[in-house]
Amino acid sequence: MIAAGVITTPRTRGRALSIEGEGETAGRSWFRSIGDGELDRAYRLAGLLLGDAGEAEDAAQDALARAWHQRNSLRSLDSAQAWFDRILVNICRDRLRRRRTVRWIPISGAEASTAADPFAAAIARDAMLRHVAVLDPDHRIVVVLRFWADLPLEAIADRLAIPLGTVKSRLHYALRELRGQIERSGEVR
């Protein structure tokens, strides 16, 4: 006779088992081994997506915190880059989408301008990057992952958790939008 009326729904801190006394999971190993190169890459990826150094810093911090919380979900060091990228890109995407409704107001007042913002400045100096910066968030993400991070389309699909076909179509529309912007801006190719 099966009598379970209410199913126990435990919530645990991650699923990976650890051997008593030596609980080194892939996630923890990755955190221990993470170097400045990875952190710079994360910060720059966030900066290119968000176009703002302060936001990039917050996003990278948030991504590290979220990755730490989910560290037991990383099953192998081989996939650490993709795993962390996915977390970071999701955070950036959330921030980009939130901008539609919530503006950040600097408390310190008018002196907080973009002049001191290294990402905003770097983007402003390059016409192409200025065009990229005004793409729709989803389009901007695929463009940055493809042409800055130099990721294959399959890797982008994995990071964004979307089908390969969707990556292709987003890239297609992003390039079309960029071409339109270039033409409208009257740039000579």
Partner 1 sequence: MSAGDPTDQSDRELEDRLRSSFASTRLPIAPATIRSRPSELVASERTVAGPGRSRAPWLAAAAAVLAIGLVGSVLLVGSRQPSKAPPSGDSTSPSNATASAGLTDALFAPGQATSGDGWRLIAGGVGLRREPTGPVAPRIELFSGAGLVKPREMLDIPSGAPSIDDASEALLVMDLLVGSGPGCGQVRFDGVTFDQALHTLTARYTQPAGGSGPSGSPAGCQLLGVPAALAVAIARTQFVPGEWTLELQRSESATTWTTIATASIGAPTMPVPLSEATVADGAGSFPKGGLWATRQTLLSLSTDGGRSWASITMPVAATPFVLDPGHIWIASAGPGSSQEMGSSTDVLHLVVDRTADGGRTWQRATVEGDFAGTTPVLAFADAQHGYLLAAGLRFGNGSRVFRTNDGGVTWHEVLSTVEKLGSIFGLGPDGSLWAGTEGDAGPVERPVLDVSRDGGKTWVDARLPGLEGSRTAVNTVVGPPAFFGDDGAVGVTTPGGDGCCALSTFVTADRGRTWSRAGSSQAGVGSSPALAFVARGRWIMSGPRPDTMRVTDDGGATWRTMAATGLAGQPLAWLGFADPNAGAGLVYLGDTPAPEGLVVTSDGGASWTRASIEP
Q: Which residues within the stretch 29-58 sit at the binding site for partner 1 (CB under 8 A)? A: 31-32, 34, 36, 39-40, 42-44, 47-48, 53-54, 57
Q: ∠ at Cα 104 (100, 107), nearest 5°?
A: 165
How near is the Cβ of 155 to partner 1 at its closest, in Å? Answer: 14
Work out whether 186 is an interface residue with partner 1 (CB under 8 A): no
- Cα–Cα dist 161/143, whole Å: 16
Interface with partner 1 includes 16 (CB under 8 A)?
yes
The Cα 88–Cα 141 span in angstroms is: 11
When asked if residue 133 is in the footprint of partner 1 (CB under 8 A), the reply is: no
| Whole-number Å distance between alpha carbons of 111 and 96 | 24
DSSP string, 114-150: GGG-HHHHHHHH-HHHHHHHTS-HHHHHHHIIIIIS-
Which of 81, 99, 128, 133: binder of partner 1 (CB under 8 A)? 128
Closer residue to partner 1, CB minimum distance, 86 or 155: 86
DSSP state for residue 6 in the 8-state scheme = S
**Does position 15 bind partner 1 by CB under 8 A?**
yes
Question: Should residue 124 be labelled a site residue for partner 1 when binding is judged by CB under 8 A?
Answer: no
- Using CB under 8 A as the binding rule, whether residue 107 contacts partner 1 is answered as yes
Report if residue 13 touches partner 1, rule: CB under 8 A: yes
